[in-house]
Amino acid sequence: MSKQRTDLRESVRRQYAAAAVKVTEGGTACCGPQAVEVDENFGSTLYAAEERAALPVEAVAASLGCGNPTAVAELREGERVLDLGSGGGIDVLLSARRVGPTGTAYGLDMTDEMLALALANAEKAGARNVEFLKGTIEAIPLPAGTIDVVISNCVINLSVDKPAVFAETFRVLKPGGRIGISDVIAEDTLTPELRAERGDYVGCIAGALSFAEYRAGLETAGFTEVEITPTHPVADGMHSAVVRAAKPAHAGTAFVPTAAKGACCGVSACCTTDERVTDPSTTVADAKAASECGCQG
């Protein structure tokens, strides 16, 4: 990875770690957790009041998204859903309620502070059908063909390698699986330079794809039935949008894209009872620790 990409990823990590710490430390105050400051285009106000009321206040306070993907993903009882960039866990907890005790909601995040906050929120919510994983959305630590639905809330625009995210998302979905994503997307007339003028990378603006780029990225990864619907403006020529697409029912699951090779830290069937190391000279725990990833929950 280039130094510029490494620096951008680290900037994103620091920003979200600081947000988690702000919420966690605020929880010790008499007035409860301090919400992360966002405008009306981002945050918990994009969720229905009854949804917010059913969750720990810390999960609501840590909400940083630009939409409500659980409202558009049409989750069903018994499904396995994965949230890319799960943060404080708001969408994982809402998903867990929708898929019920026979389903599972996974959250994936690269930030230790957010993972700790999400685990605490899951405990407070009494959610038993959730699991949080440490890793990046460019190398998802789950086996191929195991997820029914992938959701994400204003996170893919922060990735430094979006083709890898689309390829990995396609890989982990079962044939016939689908995505329901909220993300910031630019109008096709805006060049990358014009997008950067409207906001910084960490602020979910400069790194956003255009509508045409987003569609092309998904289709290149193998997705069909791509629908991108803008919901509200977040900057001049920039929109929060709902993205839906499907993995064809006839698609195979054996192929692993180049971007996904080596994912899950050298562990096959990662995060299942059948996980095994690919290198017999080490252990599962050591392999995960060496790459700073693994399952939590």
Share of the chain above pLDDT 90, in %: 44
Give the single-character DSSP code of 264. Answer: G
Report yes or no: 138 and 259 within 8 Å, Cβ to Cβ: yes
Lowest model confidence (mean pLDDT) among 32-41, 98-107, 128-137, 242-251: 32-41
In a 13 Å sphere around the CA of 227, the CA atoms on its Cβ side amount to 11
Report the DSSP beta bridge partners of residue 146.
none
Q: Which of 23-27, 115-119, 164-168, 193-197 has the lowest mean pLDDT?
A: 23-27
How do residues 95-126 score in pLDDT, each as one tens digit? 999 999 999 999 999 889 889 989 998 998 89
Give the span between the Cα atoms of 242 and 81, in whole angstroms.
17
**What per-residue confidence (pLDDT) applies to 259?**
38
Give the DSSP H/E element, type plus range, for residue 242: strand 238-246
Q: What is the pTM of this model?
A: 0.74
Residues facing residue 179 across a β-bridge: 150, 245
Q: What is the mean pLDDT of the chain?
A: 78
pLDDT band at 23; cut points 50, 70, 90: low
Look at residue 31 and tell me whether its pLDDT is greater than 50.
no
User: What's the rounded Cα separation, in Å, for the pair 158 and 294?
Assistant: 21
132 pairs with which residues across the strands? Answer: 107, 296
Q: What is the mean pLDDT of residues 63-74?
A: 69
Which segments within 78-172 are labelled E, that is strand? 80-84, 104-109, 130-134, 147-153
As given in the structure block, the two tokens for residue 14 are: 């620091």
pLDDT in tens, 182-194: 999 999 999 999 9
The answer to whether the beta carbons of residues 157 and 208 sit under 8 Å apart is: yes
Is pLDDT of 28 > 90?
A: no
Structure tokens at 242: 């709902």
